[in-house]
Every structure is written in C-alpha cells, then in structure tokens.
Amino acid sequence: MSSSRRIRPLTALALAASAVGTLLVTAPTASAGDYRDACTRSVGTRTSPNGWSIPARNFQYGSSGVCVREIQFDIAATVGIAPADWPGFIDGIFGSKTDDYVKEFQRQSHLDPDGVVGPRTWEALISRTTD
C-alpha cells in the first residue's frame, strides 16, 4: 500500500463506525446552547412560564436526539462535569447517568427532582447557560 492510499486513523474509525451503523461521537467544542437551535428546529417551540422560547417537548429517561444532547451539554456545563468526560456523557441518549444529573441539577435549582426536563427545567438550564 503506498502512502498516498493510506487511510488516516480518524477516517478508518469513521468508516468502521458507519459500517456497524453507529455514530462517531466527539466532544462538543462550542459553547452551551449550540444544539438548542437544532433542537427547536426538530421539535418546535413553546413559551415557558417566564415568556422564553423553549423546546416544545418534555424530555426524560428513554428520550434521545439533538434535544437530549442540548440538555446533556447544558447539564455538563452547570453541574461540574469535566470537559474531558463530556464525550462519554454527551451522547444524545437520556439514560440513567443523564437522569441522575438532571435530578441533581433540579435539586440545585430548587425544582422538583423528577428527572423530566419540562418548562421550568428548560428555563433553569437556559438561564445558567446563556450569556
């Protein structure tokens, strides 16, 4: 194999991930809220109790997608998850780890720690992660 035909390691990894039908997940490099626009485009918006535009759906254990990535990104930025640990946490899947962190965030925010990211939790997340 000549060096001009050699596949770079990241390309090979991406091809392997694609071949098994999984997504290659990398750590987010942008600021909090970067997934929010994609989230609201995918689910629409509603008005929160304080008049803010928030995603039109609630999210909880078992949810997945770009809105869950936004939740995970915001939670990671607010409850003290080290950026080095974000790739293992910010995966778009609302599993038990996300549920635990959402409940911890809700307790810290004086909300009912029910694990559901509804209007009040969205407000709290947005208020803590928006410049």
Q: How confident is the model at residue 18 (pLDDT cuts 50, 70, 90)?
A: very low
Rounded CA gap, 98 and 78, in Å? 13
Contact present, 41 and 55 (Cβ < 8 Å): no
Domain of 56 in residue numbering reads as: 27-129
For the entire predicted model, the pTM comes to 0.73
**Range picked from 12-16, 57-61, 74-78 for highest mean pLDDT:** 57-61
Q: Is 10 inside any structural domain?
A: no
pLDDT at residue 74 is higher than 80: yes
One-letter amino acid of 119: P
Q: Is 19 inside any structural domain?
A: no
Count of domains observed in the chain: 1
